[in-house]
Amino acid sequence: MDGNLPADLRTLHDQLDVAERDAEALVAGLAEKQGIWRPQAGSWSIAECLDHLAMGNRAYLQAMQEPGNRARARGRQRCRPVQPGWIGQLFVRLLEPPPTWWSRMKAPRSIRPRAAPPLTESFAGFVASHADVRAFLCAHADLDLTGIRFPNPFVRGIRFSMATGLHVITAHERRHLWQAWQVRRQLERADGPVGHGRRPRAGAA
């Protein structure tokens, strides 16, 4: 981590580290077959949860990239903490686990996971997306991320602050890692303790 990051961005960076360690523990000992196991028809496997997160992270970063470039060209330098506004805070809170009856929502079609993606590949993609988010944080740390707005990549006509977008990424990860852990616990109840599979490694083929 860049030691020159402001404290609020270090917090986001730390949240990515926590999520990555959680994902490592989540997949530890799982065989590929276990990684694509679904508790029931229509639900997601562990691999699908990770695949969805990797796609969601990249979609947000892509949507924020051009507004960030324009803001830099206009000299919009950091002048306040990176915090969502009150509407952004409500949306971030909506994503936090566990989901409730009023916070459940369908994943946008563009980031719905592939059907039964390989666990190793999904985990590697998730870790790679974290590297992209960390690089974005470091590259844009000097900008007014609270004041720069970008179009929501999934809802036409809605614009978020980049501060909200970054907080959405970490809350969204906590939500689906929580979901994936529920799947693992159901898998262990169905198959017994997990531990005989080979743990996926980032970058493994």
Residue 205, pLDDT score: 27
- The size of the chain, in residues, is 205
148, two tokens: 């720069």
Residue 94, pLDDT score: 94
What CA–CA distance (Å, rounded) separates 151 from 158?
A: 6
**What residue ranges define each of the domains in the chain, with the CATH number in brackets?**
12-191 (1.20.120.450)
Q: How far is CA 122 from CA 37, 57, 102, 177, 183, in A?
A: 14, 13, 29, 13, 16
Instruction: Write down the pTM of the prediction.
Output: 0.90
Burial class of residue 21 (count of CB atoms within 10 Å of its CB; 0-12, 13-18, 19+): exposed
Other CB atoms within 10 A of residue 119 CB: 27
Could you read off the pLDDT tens digit of each residue along the chain, which spans 205 residues? 556 899 999 999 999 999 999 999 999 999 999 999 999 999 999 999 999 999 999 999 999 999 999 999 999 999 999 999 999 999 999 999 998 887 888 899 999 999 999 999 999 999 999 999 999 999 999 999 999 999 999 988 999 999 999 999 999 999 999 999 999 999 998 876 665 444 444 433 2
Q: Which residues is 159 bridged to in the sheet?
A: 151
140, two tokens: 């844009």
Helix ranges (H only) for 74-161 are: 86-95, 119-139
Residue 3, pLDDT score: 63
49, two tokens: 């949860």
Residue 100, pLDDT score: 87
Residue 54, pLDDT score: 98
Q: 160 — phi, psi (to 5°)?
A: -110, 155
Residue 191, pLDDT score: 75
Cβ 36 vs Cβ 119: under 8 Å: yes
Residue 143, pLDDT score: 98
Dihedral (CA of 112, 148, 92, 124) sign: positive
What CA–CA distance (Å, rounded) separates 36 from 47?
A: 6
